[in-house]
Structures are given as C-alpha cells and as structure tokens.
C-alpha cells in the first residue's frame, strides 16, 4: 500500500515537472495567411517573403524598427558628405553568413549592384535608382555615391528588397536563403510551413527562441480553430475580425491592434460614365457612411480616412470632413448630374472580408441614394484581369498596402484612370524635393487635390490585428513594413 | 395518402408559401442594413434575431426559400425539357448508333458534378442565380434521360405499343402518345427528388460564392457568412442549416410518399415494411 502511495507521488511529480518543462518553451509557431511563392526577397514583390525572412534570416545595412524608424543594421554607423551625395558606411565586425562565409564590403557591392543592375528582377528598383556607384573601401567600409541628394536614402536601404546577400549562395536563394540574421533557414514544407532555427553564430544579441515555425493557413475558419486549439502561438494579421472580441475576452490570448499602410478605398472608374462626372463621384463619396463600414465589416477595427494617406504618417491631413456622410447632399448632386432617377453600376469585390462585407454595406448605402450597385464576387486572379488590368468595372473595393503610395494617382493608366496633369506635375516636384518642410507641404497639397477631386471613395485605414498567446511577448503591433521580426520575441516566465 | 406524404408535402408547402409570401411582404427589408442592431437575439420585432449586418434573419430565410425554390424548380424544368425527349429518342432507337451517342453524351455530362459545371460557367460569364440554374439544369438532363429510357424500354415490348405500330403510327407519335403518359408517375417522383437535390446544389453553389449574388438572400451564402461567427452567434449557422435540412428532408419524404401512392409495385413493398432510402 505504501509503495503504491510512493509510486503515485513519484508519478505526480513527474507529471508536474513535465508540465513545468513545457511551460519553458523555446519555440514558437506563427500563423500566416499567405505562403511565399519563393524565398528571395530581392526578386519579388510578394509580402509573404518579407514576412517570413525580413530581420529573421536576411538583414540590410539599415533596418526598420517596430515603430517604422530607421535603425542601424549591418552598418554600425555612417557618415554623409556635406553635399549629401556620398554615404560612407562602417560595417559591423565578425558578421558571417549562415553558410560560414564572412560578410564584408564586397558583399555590399555585390548586393547593391545586383539590385540596381539593368537585368535586375528586384521589385523595388526605384529604391536604388539614385545610386551612381558602390565602392568597397577595404573590407569593412563602403561608399555609396548618389546622383542627387536623397532625403530618404537610409529609409530606402531598410526595405526588405535591399537586404544583403552573398555571391556564394545566390544561386539557390529561392529555395535555400542564406543570410546573416539571428535565425537560419531550416526547412520548407510547401503548402504547410517554413521552419527556422536560432543562429548560434549571430553577431548581435542572440534570439530568445531556439526555433520558429511559420504555418500557412489561408482559411479564416481554420485559423480560428488552430488558434483556439493551441496549434499555433500567434496569428499575425488575423483574417476574421469578428472573432477578435472573443479572443480579447479569453485570458489565454492577447489581441494586438496596430497600424498598417493599407488605405482601403472604394475605387471608381474615372474614365467611365457616370464616374467621369465629378458630381457623381462626389455624390458617391457623400453617400458612404465610413463608420458603419468599419463597424459592420471590420467589427470596429480601422481608422476613417478622407484621402489616400496613412493617418499615422506625420504629414497626414485629416480630410474626412470633405466627404462627410450626407445622403441628402448625395441625392442633390446626382440630380444636378442628371441622375435624379439614379443609375445601375457594377461593384466587383475581391475575396478579403473588408471587400466582401464592406461591399454589401456600401451597396445598401448607395441604394439609399438611388444607385443600384450590382455586386459580383471575384477571385484575385479574376479581379486582376478584369479590374486591375482590364478596367472593366464601375466600382471596386481594395486596400492599397504599399507605404507612401499616393504617387499612383500620377499614373493615368492606373486602374482608376485618374488623369490630372496638375497632380502629375506635383508628384514630379515632390520626387526631387528633399527639404522636409517643403515635402510636407507638397504631400498635404497632394492629399487635398485627390480628396477634392473625389477620385475614389476613401474608406478607412486597414488595422493590423494579430492574435497572440498571452505569454508570448515581442510580436510587432504595427506593420511599418511587411515583417514578422522574431528576434525580440520571447516567452514570459 | 401516407403519413410521410402528408408531412413531406405539408412542410415543403410551408417553405414554398414562405417563399411566395416574401414576394409581397417580409417582416423587415432584407436589403437595408442596420449595423447598430447586429447579432440581436430573438425578440418580438426580430423573431429569429438579426445577422452580422443587423438584417432580420426570418426575412432572409423567407427570401432565401424563394431563391432556393425558384432555382431548383427551373433547374428541374431544364432537366425535364432536355432529358425527357433525349430519353424517349434513345428508347425509340434502342440499340442503334443514335441511342449509343445520346447515352454516352449523357454519361459524359454525368461525369462532371454540378459544382464543376457551375465553376466552368461562372468562369466564363460570371456568377449569378441564372447561371446556377443553368448549371444545375444541365446536371439534371442525363438524370431524366436515363430514367425515361429505362422506363420506356419495357413499354416498347408491350402489346398496346405493338398494336399502335401495326396501325402505322411512327416512333415519335408512339413515344408521345403512348409511352410518355405511362411515365408520368416516374417523372413526378424523380422530379420531386431532383427538386430537393436542386435545393441542396443551390445551397452548395452559393456557399462557395457561385450562386445568387448579394443582396439576394440565399441559404447557402448565409451559412458561408456565418462560418467564422459560429462560436458567438450559433443561430446564424443553425437557422439556414435547419432550413436546408428540413426542406430537403421533406421533399424526399414527399417524393417517397408520392412513389408509394402512384406506383402500385412499390406500394406493395411499403406495405411489407421495406423502408427505402432516398437516392
């Protein structure tokens, strides 16, 4: 009897210690909605590549901090010549790539020359357009010469498209990414997950996590189930806002709500009747109740916008009053434009819930002022073909997630086909202006111009909502760039 | 009249009546949203509560019944219009090359599920209620063609058909005047079953976004939209799910009841207590 008691006690202790051991986890499983097409951030626009690899596996000379500030990366320090035309970077000592080769000035020359080469497939070649020469000054110093001073050159170098790669490992980078980061790439099970492990030879502060796995779950229902079941520890950019209230109430989880660069707009086909008439575009803008859309489609997550500009940007101008919700005014404007009886128009919606749900709400709001919006649900491929490339639409809803992308309004062949020479001249001036105050004024003018031309219906800034295990700390709240930086992520005791 | 026929016809009649009534009146307008009143529980104003846009669920179920019934009914119509003549033709020319061609063509259509045909059609002309009618209708054609051919073949060997042939009637006239009237019962029973399958197919198509587009309410889309909200608003999924289940069940019951009533051979089987699963 006594021995049985003793055995039970021992068994209980074993169970208890196992539980304790499990509590001290050193790995994390992160859920993402989209899987990268390949693993080379320097040759594709897909944000999923940067989400997995930026800061974790690959690093650049400079890097983005969690707040979007530009911080030193592989360059420990830099000096800028008085004329602003030449940057000299001091590289960090003792940095090695994951395959054991050392990182030195020649790798910087190789990476930047490759990115700005004539035949480069870099998705953001404009970042490097101003560079006229990259020269190694010994092994640990590099000088970059510019054609003209650039106020945001260090910002440009922080992008995922500007990370450092090595000539030794470039051949197979799409399947076997070799960088300098705190994590090394382990394995990619296509359609399922990518696993990383801690880099023991990292030059900086070692990561707290020994291993990390990115799991790709595209279905919101599956993401919800996986999160509740504890199969994943964090879901970055959780796709179903309706579940967030439940996660918030559950003490096992934390919900992070932050900013993205995603301006969500009701795009109008500016060259097609009736939207070639500014009064009709203005009427549509006034017929929309943004708050109802944010509450109904995004369950309250999102910030109203009045122009194509992110509210957290210092140069933001609040223009929401310019297109305040006013159905009576909308009906008047339609009558002035000769559409007193209203009209019928297509509303083509891509898959994300902001578009599908937002579209149903907007259709109901437009019906109130006499506009009959015929909804059709499109897959992304159909949307790109019909709307983005084919201009075959009246209205559509989409979120533009690139940072600082107001210059798309200077492209008359862009899918909403806004053609205003004054605005195009304004953007040209902005491109060569480096004085911060003057840039700020120009940006304000740009925001106001497109808002007063009612180019599109400006709805809301997409929020970044991530669901995280309450004990997992350090996941970025905001998305200044596409990145899930795990170097500072750790389990709380 | 058997009990299952009564229950089946009664309840499916109720759904049909609800659908018809929605043409004239619903408790609330399903096209106007009221975000502030979303996820309201059952109350006197909203008998079945409201959905994530604050729309009245009872009204949506009524309009959804109309959508389902209209799509399924028209699809059965297309299936009969296409399938019956094909089946009669195949039976009249039994054993010939024409019979082979017709039936192999049917096999070919049969090989593609309604969903696949619908995806094909919507890829070309875009999703809509009309396209789902066409897709389900095309899927119904071989069902009726097979049924009519199988039912007609034994009739062709009977004496009254023989005498009609002797009196000089052509195959087409015999098919229409003598064969078809004897297949009416078969068609009614199969039509009811296909009708219930049509409702199921419509729900499936709109579940994946290929059926009726919003703001037209449809049971399948109500289900699809409620997927991520099951945890905190289970009624959003339960109500349209139950509506689909009950309608399909009742139509199957009605179909079996009709078969028992109309077909003396299977009535004997029913009396022996040999229950029969719906196809």
pLDDT of residue A5: 54
Nearest CA in chain A to B209: A377
Query: Mean pLDDT of all residues in chain B?
Result: 86
Mean predicted confidence (pLDDT) in B261-272: 59
Asked whether the CA dihedral A18, A22, A26, A31 is positive or negative, the reply is positive
Residue B167 lies in a domain: yes
Contact partners, residue A180, CB within 8 Å, separation at least 6: A58, A59, A74, A95, A96, A97, A98, A103, A164, A203
pLDDT of residue B264: 65
Give the integer Cα–Cα distance in Å for A209 and A289. Answer: 45
- With CB atoms and an 8 Å threshold, state whether A367 touches B31: yes
Residue B275 lies in a domain: no
pLDDT at residue A237 above 70? yes
pLDDT of residue A431: 77
- With CB atoms and an 8 Å threshold, state whether B31 touches A364: yes
Between A240, A246, A295, which is nearest B35 by CB?
A295
Q: Element (H or E) spanning B54, and its range?
A: none
Residue B204 lies in a domain: yes
Which residues on chain B are in Cβ contact (under 8 Å) with A376? 126-128, 213
Which residues on chain B are in Cβ contact (under 8 Å) with A246? 231-232
Give the integer Cα–Cα distance in Å for A275 and B108. Answer: 47
Query: Of the ranges A37-46, A427-436, A448-457, which one carries the lowest mean pLDDT score?
Result: A427-436
Nearest CA in chain A to B212: A376
pLDDT at residue A337 above 50? yes
Give the integer Cα–Cα distance in Å for B7 and B277. Answer: 17
pLDDT-based confidence at A162, cuts 50/70/90?
very high
List pLDDT tens digits, range A53-109.
Answer: 999 999 999 999 988 888 999 999 999 998 889 999 999 999 999 999 999 999 999
Q: Is B119 helix (H, G, I), strand (E, B) or coil?
A: helix
pLDDT at residue A252 above 90? yes
> CB of A278 within 8 A of CB of A453?
yes
pLDDT of residue A228: 92
Give the integer Cα–Cα distance in Å for B213 and B128. Answer: 6
Residue B276 lies in a domain: no
Burial class (CB in 10 A: 0-12, 13-18, 19+), A490: middle
Residue B131 lies in a domain: yes
> CB of A477 within 8 A of CB of A258?
yes
The complex's ipTM works out to 0.74
- With CB atoms and an 8 Å threshold, state whether B228 touches A224: yes
pLDDT at residue B35 above 90? no
And the tokens for A183?
A: 């994590």
Which residues on chain B are in Cβ contact (under 8 Å) with A375? 213-215
- What pTM does this model have? 0.78
And the tokens for A190?
A: 């296509």
- With CB atoms and an 8 Å threshold, state whether A360 touches B53: yes
Distance from CA of A33 to the nearest CA of B (A): 15
Q: Which of B122, B209, B214 to mutate to test the interface with A (most CBs of A within 10 A)?
A: B214
- With CB atoms and an 8 Å threshold, state whether A220 touches B228: yes
Highest average pLDDT, of A2-16, B14-28, B70-84, B172-186, comes from: B70-84
Buried b / exposed e along A347-357 (16+ C-beta atoms within 10 A): bbbbebbbbbb
Query: Mean pLDDT of all residues in chain A?
Result: 90
Give the integer Cα–Cα distance in Å for A316 and A307. Answer: 9
Residue B120 zone, left/alpha/beta (φ > 0; ψ -120 to 50; rest): alpha
pLDDT of residue A84: 85
Question: Domain count of chain B?
Answer: 1
Q: Which of B33, B118, B121, B127 to mutate to test the interface with A (most CBs of A within 10 A)?
A: B33
Range of the domain at B75: 3-40+47-265
> CB of A224 within 8 A of CB of A240?
yes
pLDDT-based confidence at B117, cuts 50/70/90?
confident
pLDDT at residue A3 above 60? no
Whether A360 contacts chain B with CB within 8 A? yes
Residue B279 lies in a domain: no
Residue B272 lies in a domain: no
pLDDT-based confidence at B272, cuts 50/70/90?
very low
DSSP string, A209-270: -SEEEEEE---HHHHHHHHHHTS-SEETT-S-GGGHHHHHHSTTEEEEEEEEEEEEEEEE-T
Distance from CA of A447 to the nearest CA of B (A): 30
pLDDT of residue A358: 94
Whether A220 contacts chain B with CB within 8 A? yes
How many other CB atoms are there within 10 angstroms of residue B95's CB atom?
A: 8
> CB of A50 within 8 A of CB of A482?
yes
pLDDT at residue B214 above 90? no
Burial class (CB in 10 A: 0-12, 13-18, 19+), A85: middle
Whether A372 contacts chain B with CB within 8 A? no
Whether A242 contacts chain B with CB within 8 A? yes
pLDDT at residue A188 above 90? yes
Whether A374 contacts chain B with CB within 8 A? yes
pLDDT at residue B275 above 80? no
- Residue B36, domain CATH: 1.10.3720.10
Whether A243 contacts chain B with CB within 8 A? yes
pLDDT-based confidence at B208, cuts 50/70/90?
confident
Nearest CA in chain B to A241: B228
Whole-number percent of chain A with pLDDT over 90 = 71
Mean predicted confidence (pLDDT) in B78-97: 93
Distance from CA of A460 to the nearest CA of B (A): 17
pLDDT-based confidence at B279, cuts 50/70/90?
very low
Distance from CA of B28 to the nearest CA of A (A): 14
Mean predicted confidence (pLDDT) in B186-211: 90
pLDDT at residue B268 above 80? no
Q: Which of A222, A364, A370, A382 to mutate to test the interface with B (most CBs of B within 10 A)?
A: A364
Give the integer Cα–Cα distance in Å for A368 and A330. Answer: 10
pLDDT of residue B191: 93
- With CB atoms and an 8 Å threshold, state whether B127 touches A367: no
């Amino acid at each position: 009897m006594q021995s049985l008691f003793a055995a039970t006690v021992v068994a209980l202790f074993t169970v208890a210690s196992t539980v304790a051991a499990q509590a001290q986890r050193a790995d994390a499983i992160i859920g993402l909605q989209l899987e990268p097409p390949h693993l080379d951030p320097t040759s594709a626009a897909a944000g999923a590549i940067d989400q997995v690899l930026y800061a974790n596996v690959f690093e650049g000379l400079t890097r983005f901090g969690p707040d979007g500030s530009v911080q030193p990366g592989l360059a420990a320090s830099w000096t800028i010549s008085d004329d602003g035309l030449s940057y000299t970077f001091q590289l960090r000592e003792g940095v090695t790539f994951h395959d054991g080769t050392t990182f030195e000035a020649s790798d910087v020359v190789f990476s930047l020359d490759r990115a700005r080469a004539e035949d480069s497939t870099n998705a953001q070649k404009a970042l490097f357009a101003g560079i006229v020469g990259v020269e190694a000054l010994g092994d640990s110093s590099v000088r970059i010469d510019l054609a003209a001073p650039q106020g945001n050159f260090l910002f440009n170098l922080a992008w995922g498209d500007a990370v450092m790669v090595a000539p030794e490992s470039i051949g197979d980078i799409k399947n076997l990414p070799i960088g300098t980061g705190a994590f090394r790439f382990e394995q990619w099970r296509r359609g399922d997950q990518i696993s990383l492990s801690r880099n023991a030879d990292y030059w900086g502060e070692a990561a707290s996590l020994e291993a990390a796995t990115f799991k790709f779950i595209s279905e919101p229902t599956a993401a919800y189930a996986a999160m509740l079941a504890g199969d994943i520890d964090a879901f970055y950019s959780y796709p179903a806002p309706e579940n967030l209230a439940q996660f918030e109430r559950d003490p096992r989880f934390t919900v992070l709500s932050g900013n993205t660069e995603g301006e969500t707009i009701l795009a109008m086909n500016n060259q097609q009747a009736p939207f070639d008439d500014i009064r009709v575009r203005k009427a549509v803008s006034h017929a929309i109740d943004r708050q109802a859309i944010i509450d109904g489609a995004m369950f309250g997550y999102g910030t109203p916008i009045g122009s194509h500009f992110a509210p957290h940007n210092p140069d933001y101008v609040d223009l929401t009053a310019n297109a305040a919700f006013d159905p009576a005014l909308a009906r008047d404007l339609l009558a002035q434009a000769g559409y007193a009886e209203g009209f019928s128009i297509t509303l083509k919606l891509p898959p994300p819930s902001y578009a599908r749900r937002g579209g149903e709400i907007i259709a109901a709001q437009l019906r109130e002022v006499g506009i009959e919006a015929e909804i059709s649900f499109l897959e992304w491929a159909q949307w790109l073909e019909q709307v983005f490339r084919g201009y075959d639409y009246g209205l559509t809803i989409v979120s533009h997630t690139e940072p600082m992308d107001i210059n798309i309004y200077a492209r008359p062949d862009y899918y909403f086909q806004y053609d205003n020479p004054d605005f195009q001249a304004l953007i040209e001036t902005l491109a060569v202006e480096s004085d911060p105050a003057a840039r700020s004024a120009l940006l304000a003018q740009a925001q106001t111009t497109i808002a007063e031309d009612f180019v599109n219906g400006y709805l809301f800034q997409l929020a970044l909502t991530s669901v995280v295990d309450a004990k997992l700390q350090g996941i970025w709240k905001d998305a200044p760039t596409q990145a899930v930086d795990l170097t500072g992520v750790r389990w709380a005791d | 009249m058997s009990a299952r026929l009564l229950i089946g016809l009664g309840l499916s009649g109720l759904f049909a009546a609800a659908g018809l009534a929605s043409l004239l009146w619903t408790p609330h307008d399903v096209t106007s949203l009221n975000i502030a009143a979303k996820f309201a529980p059952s109350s006197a104003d909203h008998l079945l509560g409201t959905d994530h846009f604050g729309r009245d669920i009872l009204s949506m179920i009524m309009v959804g019944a109309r959508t389902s019934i209209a799509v399924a009914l028209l699809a059965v119509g297309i299936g009969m219009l296409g399938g019956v003549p094909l089946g009669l033709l195949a039976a009249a020319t039994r054993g010939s090359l024409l019979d082979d061609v017709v039936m192999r063509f049917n096999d070919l259509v049969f090989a593609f599920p309604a969903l696949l045909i619908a995806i094909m059609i919507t890829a070309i002309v875009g999703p809509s209620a009309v396209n789902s009618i066409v897709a389900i209708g095309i899927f119904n054609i071989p069902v009726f063609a097979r049924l009519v051919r199988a039912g007609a073949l034994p009739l062709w060997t009977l004496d009254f058909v023989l005498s009609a042939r002797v009196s000089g009637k052509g195959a087409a006239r015999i098919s229409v005047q003598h064969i078809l009237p004897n297949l009416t019962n078969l068609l009614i029973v199969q039509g009811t079953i296909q009708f219930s399958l049509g409702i199921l197919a419509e729900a499936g198509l709109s579940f994946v976004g290929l059926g009726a587009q919003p703001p037209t309410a449809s049971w399948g889309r109500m289900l699809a939209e409620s997927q991520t909200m099951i945890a905190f608003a289970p009624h959003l999924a339960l109500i349209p799910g139950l509506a689909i289940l009950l309608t399909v069940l009742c139509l199957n019951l009605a179909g079996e009841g009709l078969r028992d009533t109309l077909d003396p051979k299977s009535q004997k089987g029913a009396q022996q207590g040999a229950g029969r699963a719906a196809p």
